[in-house]
Amino acid sequence: MKHIYRFLLILLTVFLISSCSGGGSSSTQESFVSGNGSVTFIKSGDRVQAPTLVGMTLSGTNYSHGFGRVTVVNVWASWCAPCRAEIPTLIALSKKYSDVTFLGILTRDNPPTAEAFQRRFKIPYPTLIDDTILLGFKGSLAANAIPSTVVIDKNGKVAGRISGEVTVASLSDLIEKVSTE
């Protein structure tokens, strides 16, 4: 009897470990890549145009972004632990840099769950629910991890990316570098 309990305990442990590995059977988490927080900056002359940022938001409104301001685009999902960890930083920086537009793009998530996440954390900026927008970043700095944060300059060109969780220092540095150009 003791061996059966030990076997069941081992089986349960293996199940729990495999279900948290990011390679589980849930389609929202397959191919999930967690970034390491690395920052990439593109010199002004080497930048390419960012995609058009338009679509339906989590709150059910149509959004159309016009360039002319520095823009921070954060790609996230409510099930993503680094996304949950970085949201207080993004909210604080969106308030600190009031002259910068902040925008989210939801990926690999269902809108009702993400909308509850947005309400819970009181995210003050809109989140677009059409992640096909991300294909438009392919020629520059693609969102290669969840989360990814892309900074777009005042001319609408991709200026930098943080692959993985942002920090106050990493995102502030990128925003200030792009804002002073």
| Averaged confidence pLDDT in the chain | 82
Rounded percentage of the chain residues whose pLDDT exceeds 70: 80
Please calculate the CA angle 156-161-164 and round it to the nearest 5 degrees: 145
Q: 34: closest CA among 81, 103, 74, 2?
A: 81
Residues of the chain with CATH 3.40.30.10: 32-179
How would residue 143 be classed by pLDDT, with cut points 50, 70 and 90?
confident
pLDDT for 28 beyond 70 = no
The domain covering 32-179 belongs, at the CATH homologous superfamily level, to Glutaredoxin (3.40.30.10)
Least confident of 3-12, 64-73, 161-170: 3-12
Q: 110: closest CA among 127, 123, 124?
A: 127
* C-beta atoms surrounding 15 within 10 Å: 10
Instruction: Check if the beta carbon of residue 104 is closer than 8 Å to that of residue 83.
Output: no
Residues with Cβ within 8 Å of 164's Cβ and at least 6 positions away in sequence, in order, are 34, 35, 36, 37, 38, 82, 145, 147, 148
Least confident of 24-38, 125-139, 145-159: 24-38
Q: Write down the pLDDT at residue 35.
A: 64
Burial of 56 (0-12, 13-18, 19+ CB in 10 A): middle
The 8-class DSSP code of residue 70 comes to -
**Per residue in 84-112, pLDDT tens?**
999 999 999 999 999 999 999 999 999 99
Report d(CA 5, CA 26) in Å as an integer: 29
Q: Write down the pLDDT at residue 34.
A: 55
SS3 state at 153: coil
User: Tokens standing for 126?
Assistant: 């809109």
How would residue 8 be classed by pLDDT, with cut points 50, 70 and 90?
very low
Residue 82 sits at φ, ψ, to 5 deg, of -65, -30
